[in-house]
Homo-oligomer: A and B are copies of this chain.
Amino acid sequence: MSKKQDIMTATLDLIHEEGLQSVTFSKLFKRANVGSGTIYNYFTNKEDLVNEVYRDSRLKMGEFLIQGYDPNASLYERFKCLQMNRLKFGMHFPKNFLFIDSYSFSPYISPELRNQDDDYHSSKIIQDLIVDGQRQGIIKEMDSHLCHQLIHGIISSILKGYFVNKYPLNELQIQQIIEASWKAILI
């Protein structure tokens, strides 16, 4: 399992550093310290490798997003937990986050993979939360997907600015972002 992990790690690193299009096999072999044929013991081809790295990242994110989620907590507490998790995931795993964000709609990622439901669970939870909030008259009436995209998008966007050092993300800023995203969708 070690070699396979080495290859996948090297792949994600290279994608992060130079972009998917410049990940060549020779770079990959050197980085992962494996022979050129070794990849083909684990992956049928380059596309398969990239897809597996993608699947892996999605899985990792899916698990992270619902960490510590308490279905019985207050609406705001639940909202805060989900937004916080997404933000923290991005901050702790920038390579995974950016890879997912950038390539989710790239032709390199097979359509089936794009629509996998590894992280469906967290997605479902957010949708439920929105609908619940609207029923309670707390969250503004609007298309729940639009609402979902809105709060999700705020986090993604903020993270991308953070990665290029536009601003720090300390407790204060994090608080402000959570609050802003909450206010955005209130009635």
Residues of B within 8 A of A22 (CB): 107
For residue A110, CB closer than 8 A to chain B, the reply is no
CB-CB contacts of A151-172 with B at 8 A, as 1s and 0s? 0111011101100101100000
Question: Which of A32-75 touch B at CB < 8 Å?
Answer: none
* Among candidates B19, B158, B166, residue contacting A107 with C-beta atoms closer than 8 Å: B19
* Among candidates B19, B146, B153, residue contacting A153 with C-beta atoms closer than 8 Å: B153
Partner-binding segment picked from A5-13, A78-86, A128-136, A176-184: A176-184
**Smallest CB–CB gap between A99 and chain B, Å?**
13
For residue A185, CB closer than 8 A to chain B, the reply is yes
Residues of B within 8 A of A105 (CB): 160, 164
CA distance A164 to B105 in the complex (A): 9
* Among candidates B106, B108, B184, residue contacting A183 with C-beta atoms closer than 8 Å: B184
* Among candidates B19, B157, B184, residue contacting A106 with C-beta atoms closer than 8 Å: B19
Are B176 and A140 closer than 8 Å at their CB atoms?
yes
Are B167 and A145 closer than 8 Å at their CB atoms?
yes
* Among candidates B18, B19, B180, residue contacting A185 with C-beta atoms closer than 8 Å: B180
Are B184 and A180 closer than 8 Å at their CB atoms?
yes
A-B contact pairs, 19 of them (CB 8 A): A18-B107, A20-B21, A21-B108, A105-B164, A140-B180, A145-B161, A145-B166, A145-B167, A149-B157, A149-B158, A149-B160, A149-B167, A150-B157, A150-B158, A153-B154, A154-B184, A157-B157, A180-B184, A183-B184
